[in-house]
Amino acid sequence: MSDGIRISVIVPTYEEAGNIAELVQRIDASLDVEHEIILVDDDSQDGTPEVVEGLGLAHVRLLVRKDERGLSGAVLRGLAEARGQTLVVMDADLSHPPEAIVQMQAAISDGADFVVGSRYVPGGSTEDGWGFLRWVNSMVATVIARPFTTVRDPMSGFFAMPRSVWTDATDLDPVGYKIALELMVKCGCTDVREVPIHFSTRRHGESKLSLRVQLEFLLHIVKLMRWKFPGWSSLVPFALVGLSGMGVYVGLLSAAGAIWPDASTLPKAIGAALVTIVWNFLLDRRFAFWYARSGSVFGQFLGFLAICAIPVTINILATVWLAEDTMVTPLAAAVGSLIGSAAGLLFNWLMSRWLIFGRKTPGKVNKAKREVSAKSSCKGD
């Protein structure tokens, strides 16, 4: 329900009281259509409510979250409360120019699904003194996000979208502060455009960018990969766990050989293989089949053990044969493990995925909701 409001501007805030008055003034000066400004504050305790009350503007709303923290959650709360036909999200630190909202709205009126205020398209820029390390951090993050979008500035916190796109959102589960990428992926945006902006250095308050925020971004990328590409997100960790298992197997055999040099290779290989199976199972259950951790651990382990039986047997026999052929035991273990792993990688993964842990399907965007919303909008025009 838009209530005649054309644009809703959502601004997540935390200890940004010194920027609010100027930000509101610049937004109002830039927009000549009916609009609202929604400030979502994480209980800053810096006088933000007093600043907003002092403005005395009916179209400026303040939502204070008492028991929640985080930029992404604040953005989602603001989007849920917004009433406009176009939804704009921007930072409160004056780094994003409100004057660009008009151009973003024009792109949406032209049919764009999603519009990003970009530092890296022609005409975009960052203020001098931004810092080389921060620039490198931004570039690396952009490259990491490449599997999801070709947008040049997917890390931007300044973006806009039609209400119909927001209503398509499914399985939203953002981590950290890069909510735009989450929305682009899970709303199924295909026509994403970039509007050049000048990114300014904040004048008041302190930057929220920290090592924790960067680690949260990496976690967010992992979660998006699992949502959009569950097959590859399972196979790659499965292969890496298998590689680590080779190291465990070789290490255990080496240790056993040093402790019991005269013992037969067969029992040592069997013992090392069993420990390696447990190692692989625990790591695979955590990283390769993350979605199945609510199942029975014992039942899953028995199934995993049965599936591993053939390649593990090949592994053990190859190790024993090579060791008895005068090859040094650690090297024999490595070669045997490699043979067994190569023989069992795809077989083990497919069987584990289909029979033991279940198959995770890609996330889907609810396009039907967008079509219904678009038809409703047409009827109301």
Identity of the highest mean pLDDT range in 81-95, 123-137, 167-181: 81-95
Using an 8 Å Cβ cutoff, are 60 and 10 in contact?
no
pLDDT digits (tens, 9 = 90+) for 40-81: 999 888 899 999 999 999 999 999 998 888 888 899 999 999
Mean predicted confidence (pLDDT) in 176-189? 85
Looking at residue 293, its pLDDT comes to 86
Q: Give pLDDT, residue 280.
A: 94
pTM of the model: 0.76
Q: Residue 97: is its pLDDT beyond 90?
A: yes
Asked if pLDDT for residue 328 goes beyond 60, the answer is no
> Residue 241's pLDDT is what?
93
Structural domain spans, the chain: 7-229, 230-356
Class of the domain covering 7-229: alpha beta
pLDDT category of residue 359 using cuts at 50, 70 and 90: confident
- Give CA angle at 92 (148, 158), nearest 5°: 25
At 291, phi and psi to the nearest 5?
-80, -5
Which of the pair, 21 or 338, is modelled with greater confidence? 21
More confident of the two residues 144 and 128: 144
**SS3 letters across the chain:** CCCCCCEEEEEEECCCHHHHHHHHHHHHHHCCCCEEEEEEECCCCCCHHHHHHHHCCCCEEEEECCCCCCHHHHHHHHHHHCCCCEEEECCCCCCCCHHHHHHHHHHHHCCCCEEEEECCCCCCEECCCCCHHHHHHHHHHHHHCCCCCCCCCCCCCCEEEEHHHHCCCCCCCCCCCCHHHHHHHHCCCCCEEEEECEECCCCCCCCCCCHHHHHHHHHHHHHHHHHHCHHHHHHHHHHHHHHHHHHHHHHHHHHHHHHCCCCCHHHHHHHHHHHHHHHHHHHHHHHHCHHHCCCCHHHHHHHHHHHHHHHHHHHHHHHHHHHHCCCCHHHHHHHHHHHHHHHHHHHHHHHHHHHHCCCCCCCCCCHHHHHHHHHHHHHHC
Q: Name the average pLDDT for the chain.
A: 84
Q: Does pLDDT of 160 surpass 80?
A: yes
Q: What percent of the chain has pLDDT over 90?
A: 46
Average pLDDT over residues 237-258: 89
- pLDDT category of residue 203 using cuts at 50, 70 and 90: low
Kindly state the average pLDDT of the residues 173-202.
86
Q: Return the percentage of the chain with pLDDT > 70, whole number.
A: 83
